[in-house]
Structure 1
Amino acid sequence: MGLFRKAALTVARGLGLTDRALVSWLAGESSHAGESVTVETALTLDAVWACARLVSQTIATLPLPLYERDGQGRSRVAPEHPLYRVLHDRPNAEMTAVEFWQALFACKLLWGNGFAEIVRGANDRVVALIPMRPDRVQITREIDGTLTYRHTHQGLTQVLSEDQVLHLKGFSLDGQVGMSAIAAGRHSLGTAMGAERAAGSIFKNGMRPSGVLTAPAYLTPEQRKDARSYVEKFEGARNTGKVPLLEGGWDFKSLSLPPEDAQLLETRGFNVEVVCRWFGVLPVMIGHMDKATAWGTGLEQMNLWFLTYTLRSHLKAAEQAIRTKCLSPVEQRRFFAEFNVEGLMRADSKGRAELYRAEVTNALSTPNEIRARENKPPLPGGDQLFMQGAMLPIDKLGTVQPTAAEKQLDDALAALAAERAATRLIPSGATLEH
């Protein structure tokens, strides 16, 4: 009784007896299918797990460097800034950057919000980011208009101001708290969970999920116990195919349709597409290959669609949150964080070669910048920009003077032609084309 009271008090301190999250914590959100839908139960669906894992892990593996503007429209990586190491390498003493961002974006996808405590050191510099589970955080609007974040963990409540929390919001109607895809889609997810439960029951009961054994007369309690122990020998998927022997006038009547008639498999496949809509993921990207392919040119277009319509909103929101919460107003004019999506857009070797050639010949990138993308060392003279010189405005044709090298080549060819004419190697008056 003491342990139960302690647990109840801990929950009450963190959530409050009138908090909607308390009801969700105790019983989960109700659904039309009668299934209790919470983040934990929803993750038992392979489609929910795959969508959350795909988006969070993809973003976590993208490099997140800190850049500095030079005042002339150019920017460079700023590894000397203390925030660079926190964002790019080690957000805290226990996590790598990939682990931290994966956890933060997974919370945002499942709960609609991702929270991280901002730990500051000397000169108000950010020295660490510590993630906080959204189901343990309560947001309160104070009288003065500021936001207060109360984080409850292991019976202790920590009160943080809005400047001490990096808050990544999902789709929101008020701009203060993001909406959870699990809570908003509880009816769709509940239906999918009900289909999974029905499929499991079919296999558990040996592909004949329900039926009636008809006895010739009323049974005594001992006879019912013996009948139950006898029927259990033929239940379960491993006992499918066994033929029971019914004695004394017993009869079995099936009350269910076979799985192929009930189209259970088609229903489960449709549920995968429904779950993907809630997370903005193409079904083919989580292994649902019924109507699409991930080979050939479709792969590049699929990656572009994924980046444009799924990842871009997450990346941009995180970059702006980092700028406003982790940089001072003065630093915001010079520094900014930006995810590097070059790896997602990398095509095959032939496509990359054509892209690099176009960038170099049109003075968009230097050869050493291209080599850096391929993790190759720089070469002498490779830091200059090059431009094709053969293209001229149409009104300048015939007016451009030849270069010294071109004039020297023309003179040499003319002298050679004159010498050959003098020695009668070619008829008089002929020219040597080049």
Structure 2
Amino acid sequence: MSNWFTRLFRPGNPDEGKRAFTREDVWGHGVDLPPQVHAADIETALTLAPVYSATRLLADSVAALPLQAFRRTADGARKPMSAPEVFTDPTEFGTTHEWVQRVMTSLLLRGNAYGYVPLFDRDGYPRRIEWLHPDEVSVDDNFSVGRRPVWFWKGRRVDPGRLVHIPGYVLPGQVLGLAPISAFALTTETGLLSQQFGRDWFRNGSVPSGVLETDQSVDQNQARVLKDRFREATRGREPIVLGLGTRYNPITVSPDESQFLATLKMTVNQIASIYGIPPDMIGGEAGGSLTYANVEQQSLNFVTYTLRPWLTKLESSFSRLIPDGEYVRFNADAMVRADLTSRYAAHHIALTDGWKNRDEIRELEDLPPLPGGQGKTYGPVADPARKPTPVPRDDEDEPVRRLRAAGTEY
């Protein structure tokens, strides 16, 4: 028997009585949590998986859509045109895809996007726009709706003619949009603390909770020695010798029982609700079982109710950067792709009714135009005055059938 047990259980002060050591006494409480988790910080908030998943999903979805330009004609029709350079080559840092990602990320996390115009074209319209970090931009008065706001970047005043401001969800009487991460900092903080709890749980080896009990009287120093020796032996995976009435009683406490997993699931669903995303798209739980039919409907709902408001906001803001009569639109149809049979059936209807030609349909299917302009013509539109072709009857002989087919009454 080890001598340290003999030294530990010397008769002590009888007033101290019997003592039990809990799992926290042996292993500690994990890493102490900071007095305040700065959940409103962008970098901190993005370490929470649901926040990263939700913002990445929306930013990538919008950036992946083709941005098309149109010109409105005198008769009110729209005519496709080449996109202005501010949308084909908008930044020195990456492509149009990353450029749209940046503006969406600023809107999703801070509720505002700020762009600086370093270059104009010869007509005085923006040639390039560089999106600034939203935390580096400020306005002198958020309630200055009645006058032109004064903007600052890193404390320096910015020429308002060079700043592009796109607000997200704006409250009446304010200039700046509402920042989701700041407004729902409590939800994000709860998720971060749950995530930190899980890290500490597994950092401690996921060892089951337990109690060391003895029928001897021990003081604080003796308890500390027993705890340290026990922890040292178990960490080294050495056999543990208990004596003098000492017993180790393991107590298993699952993460479910500590509300750990339930809190994480609740955080995912709440963040999905903040951004208007179905929870199962970012790792949450859907309300019911998903089938092929309602998965396709969910995709349509995602485009209609989640993406469309963002697309409309960007389209109206981008269209203000180009001459009057010109505007841009995101082609959301590129995301909603029906199954092959449904898609081809829709193409057939478009051809039959004459509101699309073959080249337009081939373009949707990423196919080249037909040679010689064969695909430029439109199909015939049904003429209501045209008589339908008679259907021959079995009781008619051949001459009667021919006359009826020719439209001659007999």
Same fold (TM over 0.5): yes
Structure 1 residue 71 corresponds to structure 2 residue 69:
no
Aligned residue number for residue 39 of structure 2: 37
Q: Is the CA contact (8 Å cut-off) linking 1:147 and 1:161 kept in structure 2?
A: no
Describe the SS at the equivalent of 2:366: coil
* Gap change, CA 1:417 and 1:106, over 3 Å in 2: same
Deviation at 1:377, TM superposition (A): 2.0
CA distance in 2, matches of 1:186, 1:253: 41
Letter in 1 for 2:301: W
Determine whether 1:351 maps to 2:342: yes
Q: What fraction of aligned residue pairs are identical, expressed as a percent?
A: 23
| Superposed displacement of residue 199, structure 1 | 2.2
Q: Give a deviation string over 1:102-135, Cα, whole Å, max 9, x none.
A: 1210111011111111233333132111010101
Q: Following the alignment from structure 2 to structure 1, what is the Cα–Cα distance between the partners of residues 271 and 240?
A: 41
1:374 aligns with 365
Deviation string 1:299-347 (CA, Å, 9 cap, x unpaired) is: 22111111121111111111111222x12xxx22x10011111112221
* Structure 1 counterpart of 2:90, one-letter code: P
Aligned equivalents of 1:281 and 1:100: distance in 2?
23
**Is the contact made by 2:110 and 2:180 (CA closer than 8 Å) also made in structure 1?**
yes
Q: Hey, what's the Cα distance between the residues in 2 that align with 1:290 and 1:243? A: 47
Matched residues, number: 357
Mind listing any 5+ residue stretches in structure 1 that lack a counterpart?
1-32, 419-429
Structure 1 residues 191 and 417: alpha-carbon distance in aligned structure 2, compared to 1, 3 A threshold: closer
Residues 243, 86 of structure 1: CA spacing in aligned structure 2 closer, same or farther, 3 A cutoff? farther
- Give, in whole Å, the separation in 1 of the partners of 2:387 and 2:218: 115
TM-score normalised to structure 1 length: 0.72
Equivalent residue number for residue 316 of structure 1 = 312
Q: Is the 8 A contact 1:166 1:322 kept in 2?
A: no
The 5-angstrom pairing of residues 20-419 of structure 1 reads: 35-38=37-40, 39-79=42-82, 84-87=84-87, 89-121=88-120, 122-141=122-141, 145-152=147-154, 157-174=155-172, 175-207=174-206, 216-218=217-219, 220=221, 224=224, 227-228=227-228, 230-232=230-232, 234=234, 244-247=240-243, 250=246, 257-289=253-285, 291-292=287-288, 296-324=292-320, 326-327=321-322, 331-332=323-324, 334-379=325-370, 380-389=373-382, 392=384, 400=386
Cα offset, 1:225, TM superposition: 6.5
Residues 284 and 293, structure 1, Cα contact 8 Å, conserved in 2: no
Alpha-carbon distance change, 170 to 401 in structure 1, aligned in 2, over 3 angstroms: closer
Q: Deviations over 1:182-201 (max 9, x none)?
A: 11111122222222222222
- Provide TM-score, normalisation by structure 2: 0.76
The verdict on how the C-alpha distance between 1:431 and 1:134 changes in structure 2, with shifts beyond 3 A counting, is: closer
In the alignment, the residues of structure 1 paired with residue 239 and residue 38 of structure 2 have an alpha-carbon distance, to the nearest angstrom, of 37
Q: Distance in 1 between matches of 2:291 and 2:159?
A: 49
The residue type paired with residue 72 of structure 1 is D
Q: Tell me the secondary structure at the aligned position of residue 382 of structure 1.
A: helix
In structure 1, C-alpha distance between the alignment counterparts of 2:145 and 2:302, rounded to whole Å: 42
Q: Which moved more, 1:210-219 or 1:106-115?
A: 210-219
Question: 204-213 or 64-73: which moved more?
Answer: 204-213
* Aligned amino acid, residue 363 of structure 1: G
Residues 169 and 226 from structure 1, CA distance in 2 versus in 1: closer, same or farther, beyond 3 angstroms?
Answer: same
Q: Deviations over 1:268-312 (max 9, x none)?
A: 222211111111111121233554556512222111111121111
Distance 1:118 1:271 in 2: 38
Q: Give the C-alpha shift of residue 69 in structure 1.
A: 1.6
Listed one character per residue, the Cα deviations across residues 241-263 of structure 1 (whole Å, up to 9, x for unaligned) are x8744455555577884323334
C-alpha spacing 1:247/1:178, structure 2 compared with 1 (3 Å): farther
Superposed CA offset, 1:350-381 (max 9, x none): 11111112222222222221112122222324
After superposition, the CA RMSD in angstroms is 3.4
Q: Deviations 1:5-45 (Å, cap 9, x if unpaired)?
A: xxxxxxxxxxxxxxxxxxxxxxxxxxxx9643132222111
- For 1:360 and 1:306, how far apart are their aligned partners in 2? 29
1:361 counterpart SS class: helix
Once structures 1 and 2 are overlaid, which stretch shifts more, 135-144 or 194-203?
Answer: 135-144
User: Counterpart of 1:124 in 2: which secondary structure?
Assistant: coil
What is the distance in 2 between the residues matched to 1:140 and 1:66?
Answer: 35
Aligned equivalents of 2:65 and 2:401: distance in 1?
63
Richer in helix (by share): 1
Cα distance, 1:51 vs structure 2: 0.2
